[in-house]
Structure 1
C-alpha cells in the first residue's frame, strides 16, 4: 500500500494522499488544494473523500475547497458538528477507497472529535494509522486547546480521554503499523515531537514517553500537562473557521493580488489602517523599510509568527515582498486564517525608495562587535528566544523576553539606555526590532546570526537560569 506524505516544513504539517483503482482520498489537507488536485490528475483519479482527523487549530484546512472543486465527501469522526455538508462517521465505520479500506477509530483527547484512521491494503492487511494530533512521533497531542473553544473541556478532562484512547484504541494494535502523524518537530500542537515524520507503532511503544505501559492515568496527566506553553492566540480562531466554514482561497487571492504604486500604497495604508507587513529577509529589511511596517520573513516560520504577533485575525494587511513572492505570502497568510490582505506594493521596496518616500533603517551588529561591547560597555542584552532555549544556555546577565510575549513586556525595554537584542539566528530578533521601531524605540541594535554566532565567540554564557529572567 502506498501512502504519500505531503509535508510542509514551515508549518511542520503533514497531509496524506492514497489512491487505488482511480479512487483517491486526502487526509488533513492544507488551505491551497491545487497540489492535491494535480496529484489526483496525475493518477487519472477522482478524489472521493477528504478525511479530517479533527477540527484543526494551527491551520485552516482545505476540505471545503476540495469538496467544491473535486466533489469530494468530507468525513469527520464521531461527535463532530460542522456547519456545512459533511459526513460524521461512526466509530469502526469503514470507507472504501478503490481496493483500500479506511477504518474509523474514535480517539478523543486532543479534541473530543479526534479520530485516527486505520489504513487497510488491498489484501486486507492493516498497513498504517493516520493519527492526526492523537499520536506524534515521540509525543502526543496537547489536550489544552479545546477549552479555548468549549470552556468546560478542561485540559485535565481531555488528558484523561487521551490516556484512554491511547491505551484502549491505539496501543493494542499491531506493532508493525506505520504511524502517520499530522505534525513534526516545530509544531505548537505538541511539546517534544521528533524530527522524524513516520515510525512504526511498535517502536513508538518503546520510546514515546506517553506510551509507557506501566504509566498510570494520573502520571500520564501530570507528565502531559507539565511544560506546556501558552498556545498561539490564533488557534481558537482557526478552530472556529474549520467548524463554521470560510471563504474560498480563490476569492481571497483575487482580492489580495492588487498591485499598488507607492503613492496608492501609502493612501490605502492611511485610509484603511492596514498593517504593512514586510516579508523580506531580516538583512534586507534592516537596510531600509517603510515606517511603521512589521518584518516577518517568508524565509522562516512565517505563518506561525504571523499568528503569534498579529492578534487580530481579521486585520487588513498590505504586503511588501520580493518580486513574484506576493502569491506565496498571501497563501501562507491564509493557511492560518489571515484572509484580509488588501494588496501589495508593486515593485517592492525598491519602488518605494525610487519614489523618494521616507524610510527607516535598523542597526545590526555581528557577534564579534557584541563581544567588544560586552568587554568595554557592558550593554543590556535582551534575549527574545523561548524560555526553554534561554534556560538551556544564555549570555550571562541577559534577560529573557520571549518574542511571543513582547507585547506584554514592552516596559522591560528601556528608552533611556541602549540595549542589544538577539535570538537564535537573527530571524526573531528582527521581528522584535520592527515591533519596537513601530512603538517608538530607537536606541538599540540586534545581533546578526543571533546566539548561534554568539556561541562561537568568547562571550561568557551560562547554562543555568539567572534571576533576571522575565516570565
Structure 2
C-alpha cells in the first residue's frame, strides 16, 4: 500500500501515523505508533534515518538524485523542527540503527531514547537557525562510502534473499593461493598481525566491517573469506550482502591453512616514533581525514 504525509492505519489496537520526514533521503518517513488500548502509554516514533540517538541523518549521500547536501540539510531542518520536535518529551525514539554506520557522525550505540533526552544531549536538536543547522550537520562528515550509490539503487530494484545466494565453498590452501579475487581476513587486527595469509586484507567483524568492505571492494569482485569459525564466515557473508557484495565464493578457516604466513610486528606508539627517528622511516597514518585532523602523530 502507498501512504502520504498524515495518513493513519490501525493494526489491532495500535494506531500508526505516517509523517514525511525527508533530509537524509528525499523519501524519508517517520512512523508514530500509539497504543489505542492504553492511553497512558508513551507515543513511539520510529524515525528511520531522520533522527538517530545522538545525531541526525547525514544529508550528503544522495547527490546522484540531483540534490545538494545543503538542500537535503534544509529539508532535514524542516522535518526535525516541524514534524518531530513538536512531539512531547515523553515520546520514545526508535531509529533504524545505531553506531557502526556511516549514515551519521555521532551515532550512539543505544537503541532508543526519549525526545526529551535528545533535546538535552543531541547536538543537532539544540536551538539554531536554518543556516546554522545546515553548517553543523554537514561539517566533519566521513567520506561518502563508495558502495552507497550502487547499494541505494539496488535497494530500489530489490535484492535477492540470503537463502538465494550461492554458499561459499571451503577452499584448500592451494586453492586459496590461486584464488582470483580479494581475500578478506575477518579476524581481529591483533590476530591478523600475529599471523596472516599473504596478500589478504584485514577487515575485522568487530568494527565497521560492512562499511569498510563496501569502500575497499568493488561490487562484483570475487571474495574469499578467512575466519576462525564457520559462524564468522556466515556473518561475513550476510554483512557483505548488506552493502551489495554478493560474490563471496570461498572460505578457509585460518587453523586449516597450511601455507606461508606473514607477520606484522605491532609496537607501541613510542616505539614507532623511535623507529622512524632512528631509521629514517616515514610514519603513515591511514585513518580518515577527519580522524587525522582530530589529532595525529608529528610528521605522520
3-state secondary structure, aligned to 1:88: coil
Pair 186,280 (structure 1): closer, same or farther in 2 beyond 3 Å: closer
3-state secondary structure, aligned to 1:381: coil
Q: Say if 2:275 is the partner of 1:386.
A: no
The aligned residue for residue 56 of structure 2 is 140
3-state secondary structure, aligned to 1:306: helix
The aligned residue for residue 115 of structure 1 is 29
Pair 124,316 (structure 1): closer, same or farther in 2 beyond 3 Å: same
Matches within 5 A, 1:316-355: 316-324=222-230, 325-345=232-252, 348-353=253-258
The aligned residue for residue 172 of structure 2 is 261
1:282, CA displacement in angstroms?
2.5
Pair 179,372 (structure 1): closer, same or farther in 2 beyond 3 Å: same
Cα deviations by residue, 1:79-122 (Å, 9 ceiling, x for unpaired): xxxxxxxx321222223332112211111111111000101013
In 2, distance between residues paired with 1:173 and 1:211? 13
Cα deviations by residue, 1:413-462 (Å, 9 ceiling, x for unpaired): xxxxxxxxxxxxxxxxxxxxxxxxxxxxxxxxxxxxxxxxxxxxxxxxxx
In 1, distance between residues paired with 2:234 and 2:109? 29
Asked whether the equivalents of residues 46 and 95 of structure 2 are also in contact (C-alpha less than 8 Å), the reply is yes
Pair 363,208 (structure 1): closer, same or farther in 2 beyond 3 Å: closer
Matches within 5 A, 1:395-410: 395-397=297-299, 399=300
Asked whether the equivalents of residues 256 and 340 of structure 1 are also in contact (C-alpha less than 8 Å), the reply is no
1:390, CA displacement in angstroms?
3.0
The aligned residue for residue 135 of structure 2 is 222
3-state secondary structure, aligned to 2:15: strand
Q: 1:204 pairs with 115, 118, 125, which one?
A: 118
Q: Say if 2:270 is the partner of 1:364.
A: no
Cα deviations by residue, 1:138-181 (Å, 9 ceiling, x for unpaired): 32111111223x1x222122111111111211111122101111
Q: 2:206 pairs with 299, 303, 308, which one?
A: 299
In 2, distance between residues paired with 1:392 and 1:228? 13
In 2, distance between residues paired with 1:259 and 1:329? 14
Q: How many residues align?
A: 297
The aligned residue for residue 221 of structure 2 is 315
Asked whether the equivalents of residues 228 and 255 of structure 2 are also in contact (C-alpha less than 8 Å), the reply is no
1:209, CA displacement in angstroms?
3.2
Pair 158,380 (structure 1): closer, same or farther in 2 beyond 3 Å: same
In 2, distance between residues paired with 1:364 and 1:210? 39
In 2, distance between residues paired with 1:186 and 1:283? 20
In 2, distance between residues paired with 1:171 and 1:359? 56
Pair 203,285 (structure 1): closer, same or farther in 2 beyond 3 Å: closer
Asked whether the equivalents of residues 92 and 114 of structure 2 are also in contact (C-alpha less than 8 Å), the reply is yes
> What is the TM-score with the length of structure 1 in the denominator?
0.58
- Which one has more relative contact order, counting CA pairs under 8 Å at least 6 apart? 2
Cα deviations by residue, 1:255-297 (Å, 9 ceiling, x for unpaired): 2232122233444x1xxx2212222233333344333222212
Q: Which runs of 5+ in 1 are unaligned?
A: 1-86, 400-471
In 2, distance between residues paired with 1:134 and 1:378? 49
In 1, distance between residues paired with 2:204 and 2:109? 23
The aligned residue for residue 149 of structure 2 is 236
Higher mean C-alpha displacement, 187-196 vs 224-233: 187-196
In 2, distance between residues paired with 1:89 and 1:376? 67
Once superposed, what is the RMSD of the aligned Cα atoms? 2.3
3-state secondary structure, aligned to 1:96: strand
Asked whether the equivalents of residues 140 and 290 of structure 2 are also in contact (C-alpha less than 8 Å), the reply is no
The aligned residue for residue 82 of structure 2 is 168
